[in-house]
């Protein structure tokens, strides 16, 4: 691991890594303190019991993350539909104003024809004292008729446009209402899953919570070690782009801020809120949710990964983190946690995507 790669990680990252997560070069992660066996006098909650609790908590927070993505997607879609409805409303107003003007002009043309008496051209020629004046007038009448015909055609087109705008606005409104309902349902599910997880954790004693935390660290360490033992880190030597460096700088400067579902800063974040805002700060807007980041951004082979790239986790793309280099990521883990450093291989990797590809 070269010094150049480590230089991308801020002082805050280095301190956190040195104390809690990252170890010296060659090991990448330090093993957490083994969970002590409970004494005979302690409440008989075994490590197996706590492991079952950990598995249940992971499932609850995973479902909360999925629902959070659904909430964020519905919110983003609703915002876009609201903007579309406003734009269509402006077009309808302009179209109505144009139609009123066209009707006024058409009415004036019809009145002019009425004043001419509606006589046939032959009769007007016979009544005219000056045939040349009549011919000039007949030319103007013909032009007027053509202009009136053009006005009527334009009125028809404008009326058709107004009908289409109204139809589009109605469609967008129906989608908006559907997304509002989806957003409300997702919000309800998020709160339900988090409440269930918090209730489960509240039943643990302080010592049991500490042991549970150590079990979580051990599980993450085991997964990270297996990932590093594959030799993958030796193949990763990509250097961050200029935008990537800015995104990393933003993300690492948020370390310590709390996770909050649906949040995208500046005081708190969910996982995709952190990554989307980090890249927005680098001048590269990306999709809001981890699932859309996975779907829309360019896929990169893990061995080609460089700082600033995003790692998508879990088979359903329900979590995302930013790669920092040296096998580390920065991410907003879950409710009750803060933006922190972790091992890139501590969770099941689905894909790596590059925002500035």
Here the tokens at position 40 are: 């005979």
Among 288, 331, 334, 354, the one annotated catalytic: 331
Residues 5, 22: contact at Cβ < 8 Å? Answer: no
Here the tokens at position 330 are: 């920065």
The rounded distance, in Å, linking the Cα atoms of 322 and 272 is 10
Residues 318, 350: contact at Cβ < 8 Å? Answer: no
Among 85, 271, 311, 352, the one annotated catalytic: 271
Is 17 catalytic? The answer is no
- The edge-to-edge listing of strands for the beta sheet with 298-300 is 298-300, 349-354, 310-313, 319-325, 328-331, 340-343
Give the closest residue to 236 by CA, choosing from 109, 115, 349: 349
Parallel, antiparallel or unpaired: strands 298-300 and 310-313: unpaired
Give, for 340, the enclosing helix (H) or strand (E). Answer: strand 340-343
Is 62 catalytic? The answer is no
Among 211, 319, 334, 354, the one annotated catalytic: 319
Query: Residue 338 carries which DSSP code?
Result: B
What sign does the dihedral 38-40-45-51 (CA atoms) show?
Answer: positive
Find residue 133's DSSP bridge partners.
none
The rounded distance, in Å, linking the Cα atoms of 130 and 46 is 117
Q: How far is CA 46 from CA 36, 53, 215, in A?
A: 10, 11, 12
Is 319 catalytic? The answer is yes
Give the other-Cβ count within 10 Å of 153's Cβ: 11
Here the tokens at position 322 are: 């930013």
Cα Rg, the chain, nearest whole Å: 34
Catalytic residues: 271, 319, 331
């Amino acid at each position: 691991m070269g010094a150049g790669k480590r230089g991308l990680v801020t002082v805050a990252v280095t301190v956190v890594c040195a104390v809690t997560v990252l170890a010296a070069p060659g090991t990448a992660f330090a093993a957490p303190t083994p969970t002590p066996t409970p004494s005979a006098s302690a409440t008989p909650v075994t490590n197996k019991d706590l492991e079952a609790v950990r598995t249940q908590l992971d499932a609850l927070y995973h479902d909360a993350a999925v629902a959070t993505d659904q909430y964020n997607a519905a919110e983003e879609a609703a915002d876009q539909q609201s903007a579309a409805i406003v734009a269509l409303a402006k077009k309808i107003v302009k179209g109505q104003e144009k139609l009123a003007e066209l009707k006024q002009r058409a009415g004036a043309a019809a009145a002019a024809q009425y004043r001419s008496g509606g006589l046939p051209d032959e009769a007007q020629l016979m009544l005219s004292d000056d045939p040349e004046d009549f011919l000039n007038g007949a030319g103007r009448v013909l032009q007027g008729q053509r202009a009136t015909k053009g006005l009527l055609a334009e009125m028809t087109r404008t009326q058709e446009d107004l009908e289409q705008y109204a139809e589009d606005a109605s469609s967008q409104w129906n989608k908006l209402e559907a997304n509002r309902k989806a957003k409300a349902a997702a919000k309800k599910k998020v709160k339900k899953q988090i409440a269930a997880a918090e209730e489960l954790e509240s039943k643990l004693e302080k010592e049991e919570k500490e042991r549970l935390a150590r079990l979580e660290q051990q599980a993450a360490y085991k997964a990270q070690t297996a990932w590093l033992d594959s030799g993958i880190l030796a193949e990763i030597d990509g250097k961050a782009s200029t935008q990537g460096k800015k995104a990393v700088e933003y993300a690492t400067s948020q370390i310590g801020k709390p996770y909050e579902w649906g949040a995208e800063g500046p005081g708190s974040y969910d996982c995709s809120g952190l990554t989307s805002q980090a890249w927005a700060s680098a001048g590269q807007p990306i999709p809001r949710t981890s699932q859309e980041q996975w779907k829309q951004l360019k896929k990169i082979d893990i061995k080609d990964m460089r700082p600033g790239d995003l790692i998508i986790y879990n088979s359903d793309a329900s979590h995302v983190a930013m790669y920092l280099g040296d096998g580390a990521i920065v991410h907003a883990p879950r409710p009750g946690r803060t933006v922190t450093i972790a091992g890139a291989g501590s969770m099941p990797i689905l894909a790596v995507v590059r925002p500035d590809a």
